[in-house]
């Protein structure tokens, strides 16, 4: 049964990534999965607040340094990620990003770049989480890296739309991810398979250079290198606050929804 579900997920991901949806709505649904049942509805509570309020506090960066989704909220988070609200929230963020950049009067000097995170920003790992759970259990790097090596993650549809619009505006794309250097080839292949056909730079984390560094330190340093090379960061998109905090964050940053995990 599980193998059948995974095969179905990968088939749907392939259809979405190659743009074969029968309509705008069909292409917009990352995974038409059955929602999770049982506890975890909007009315479920953890430490005296509803899971919906917990998610809001997480997205607003009021609850920080948390390690896992509270067990009481795992089904709620699963339903949110697999339901329409997650897609609508992603659409709202990317729409604002486009409205912002469209209004800019940017020099046509080839120095304008937009920085995108990869996981849960450009690519979606929902097939992995649908199989392995939505965060109440500790993160398992072994199983997640095995999933990454399949190179099967589809694009987040609304981020991909923004990506295409930015290219049409002449803005260069930089992908900046916390994935390690040894995943460069599979990440590049996955991005292309998902429809991100071109980019100016794909930056992965050199764990020797950034040993022990947080995501904020690492990404700030790499964005700083871009600026030293003369690039103008007009926008920065990420699903984690650590993607958009720190230094050299760009002219404006956009936080995509992700209540499944927290990276400092």
pLDDT digits (tens, 9 = 90+) for 207-246: 999 999 999 999 999 999 999 999 999 999 999 999 999 9
Strands 172-180 and 112-116: parallel
Q: Residue 88 corresponds to which tokens in the numbers above?
A: 């609508």
DSSP 119-179: BTTTB--HHHHHHH-SSSSPP-HHHHHHHHHHT-PPBPHHHHHHHHHHHHTT-EEEEEEEE
Tell me, what CATH number does 7's domain have? 3.40.50.1000
Under 8 Å between Cβ of 10 and 30: no
Containing 211, the helix (H) or strand (E) segment is: none
Asked whether residue 260 is domain-assigned, the answer is: no
Asked whether residue 118 is domain-assigned, the answer is: yes
Give the dihedral sign, CA 110/241/132/9. negative
pTM equals: 0.86
Asked whether residue 264 is domain-assigned, the answer is: no
Distance between CA atoms of 262 and 254, rounded to whole angstroms?
Answer: 16
Q: Is the pLDDT of residue 247 over 50?
A: yes
Strands 253-255 and 232-238: parallel
Query: Which contacts qualify for 211-217: CB closer than 8 Å, 24 or more apart?
Result: 214/242, 214/264, 215/178, 215/240, 215/242, 215/243, 215/263, 215/264, 216/242, 216/245, 216/246, 216/264, 217/246
Asked whether residue 82 is domain-assigned, the answer is: yes
Asked whether residue 263 is domain-assigned, the answer is: no
Give the dihedral sign, CA 181/117/222/143. negative
Q: Residue 218 corresponds to which tokens in the numbers above?
A: 């690492």
Q: Residue 133 corresponds to which tokens in the numbers above?
A: 């759970």
Asked whether residue 110 is domain-assigned, the answer is: yes
Per-residue model confidence (pLDDT) at position 40:
45
Asked whether residue 63 is domain-assigned, the answer is: yes
Asked whether residue 262 is domain-assigned, the answer is: no
What's the pLDDT tens digit per position in 163-219? 999 999 999 999 999 999 999 999 999 999 999 999 999 999 999 999 999 999 999
pLDDT band at 47 (very low <50, low <70, confident <90, very high): confident
CB burial readout 61-83, b (16+ within 10 A) else e: eebeeeebbbebbbbbbbbbbbe
Residue 212's domain spans which residues?
2-255
Give me the number of domains the chain comprises.
1
Per-residue model confidence (pLDDT) at position 239:
98
């Amino acid at each position: 049964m599980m193998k059948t579900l995974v095969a179905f997920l990968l088939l749907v991901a392939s259809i979405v990534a190659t743009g074969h949806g029968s309509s705008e709505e069909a292409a917009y649904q990352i995974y038409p999965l059955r929602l999770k049942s049982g506890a975890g509805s909007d009315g479920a509570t953890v430490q005296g607040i509803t899971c919906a309020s917990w998610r809001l506090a997480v997205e607003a960066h009021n609850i920080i340094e948390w390690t896992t989704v509270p067990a009481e909220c795992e089904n709620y988070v699963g339903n949110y990620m697999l339901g329409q609200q997650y897609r609508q929230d992603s659409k709202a963020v990317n729409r604002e990003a486009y409205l912002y950049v469209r209004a800019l009067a940017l020099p046509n000097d080839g120095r304008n770049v937009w920085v995108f995170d990869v996981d849960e920003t450009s690519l979606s790992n929902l097939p992995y989480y649908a199989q392995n759970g939505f965060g109440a259990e500790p993160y398992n790097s072994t199983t997640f890296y095995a999933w990454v090596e399949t190179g099967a993650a589809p694009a987040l549809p609304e981020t991909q739309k923004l990506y295409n619009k930015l290219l049409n505006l002449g803005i260069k794309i930089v992908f900046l991810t916390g994935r390690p250097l040894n995943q460069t080839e599979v990440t590049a292949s996955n991005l292309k398979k998902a429809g991100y056909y071109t980019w100016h730079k794909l930056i992965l984390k050199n764990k020797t250079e950034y040993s022990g560094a947080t995501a904020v330190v690492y990404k700030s340093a790499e964005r700083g290198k871009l600026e030293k090379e003369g690039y103008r960061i007009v926008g920065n998109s990420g699903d984690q606050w650590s993607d958009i905090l720190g230094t050299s964050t760009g002219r404006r940053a956009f936080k995509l929804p992700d209540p499944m995990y927290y990276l400092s």
